[in-house]
Amino acid sequence: MPLCNHKNMSGNAKLLHENLWESDPELMDLIRKEKKRQVHGLEMIASENFTSLSVLQCLGSCLHNKYSEGLPGQRYYGGNEFIDEIELLAQKRALEAYRLNPEEWGCNVQPYSGSPANFAVYTGLIEPHGRIMGLDLPDGGHLTHGFMTATKKISATSIFFESMPYKVDPVTGLIDYDKLEESAKNFKPKIIIAGISCYSRCLDYKRFRQIADANGAFLFADMAHISGLVAAGVIPSPFEYADVVSTTTHKSLRGPRAGVIFFRKGVRSVKPNGDKVMYDLEAKINQAVFPGIQGGPHNHAIAGIATCMLQARTPEFKDYQTQIIRNAQALCKGLLERGYSISTGGTDVHLVLVDLRPAGITGARAEYVLEEISIACNKNTVPGDKSALNPSGIRLGTPALTTRGLVESDMTHVVDFIDRGLKLSKEITAVSGPKLVDFKRVLHEDPTLNAKVQALKEEVQTYSAKFPMPGYEEF
């Protein structure tokens, strides 16, 4: 609320105290349109979620105003008495959310997001041009795990470090751990990354650990997508085996757009003579985050981390994570029954990767037509794809739908909407031909096809609007 009546204020004071809808109605109108889109659509992008009101309140708080470079008790600015307490609380709650002993684990809650968090890990653990191995992007890995093509280094990770990908079996879609082990023996990486952005099965962290130990490598688990599931204990945890674990906090964890790095402390190994080899990761990672990569931390986001980690310890959060998996499996079952091909044949987690090659549909056309009927997903590579720019599949996730209260029975309706949308894409392609630009033109300009798209869109929007949306009422 304004501190006083801004009608009697000076010009500058008026600027400072006006509501957004008063000072910038053009922007407010766009925000309201986006809120309407979210409420009236089915959000199925696996890396998105709808955060809680308490997290949004942190993000819009006075904490945004404060500069606090450095760590609690070691700041480069004054005035951080309460900022220090908030960051320490976020660290404490992050360890508690994953049931970690503070004598064995520490964490840094300052990363702005997942990508800088991962780059900080590499920067702290290995020298430039040090060797890393991660799951290849077309096989379900992430850009920050070292993705490059035959002609170009795409990710900064591949520019500054030497990367060799490991792959999935092209038939089963499952990670080929035997080939990973063989490649690691030859490549001798300093870091092996156990992490995914589009792989629908639980990872075998024990096997990763064995391969890392055989090559003297650090095991780095990137649990960005599955961190909520891990916190709830509904899938295996990487913490038993990993040296370092990173995560975003805005995906299944349902917090602010930020990142966290967890690192081992204490004894790393014992030599044959009994001497202990201690972990020295804390200072390396903290210094890599700041001053190595980032400047002042986003204190409003750190407060959001603190409150989402508190939520992650509740029975309700565990129920929510359990429902995410149930919904994903119901979605998967429904798509299989409609004749669609699912990479790996199913899912253990929050996402489903649909291989559209047997259906004769490209990922780009599928993504576009689904967006036109108010279902948000993303085109995605499937095992065997040659280009990340022209993928053959779509990735579907259930965290955001589950946040809004959808359950297994609702997935039947969702599957029906998706199926009808994809069948429409084939109708449109039959008229437009193979080019995406022509596909988009025909979708909008052919009166019969556009009418079908609009009718299905209205069905989806009417259905979606029945479910509640967390956050502020108006925006």
List the catalytic residues.
198, 250
Burial, 311: exposed, middle or buried (Cβ in 10 Å; 0-12, 13-18, 19+)?
A: buried
Dig out the tokens for 355 from the structure.
């291989």
Nearest alpha carbon to residue 113 among 256, 299, 229: 256
Q: Which residues of 104-119 are buried (b: 16+ CB within 10 A; e: fewer)?
A: ebbbbbbbbbbbbbbb
Neighbours of 286 (CB within 10 A): 21
Dig out the tokens for 341 from the structure.
């091909």
Q: What does DSSP assign to residue 62? A: G
DSSP-assigned states of every residue in 228-275: HHHHHTSS--STTT-SEEEEESSSTT---S-EEEEEE-SEEEE-TTSP
Q: Is 169 helix (H, G, I), strand (E, B) or coil?
A: coil
Dig out the tokens for 46 from the structure.
């696996």
Q: Tell me the Ramachandran region of residue 360: left when phi exceeds 0, alpha when psi lies from -120 to 50, beta otherwise.
A: left
- Rounded Cα distance between 112 and 294, Å, is 8
* Helix-then-strand count for the chain, H and E: 18, 17
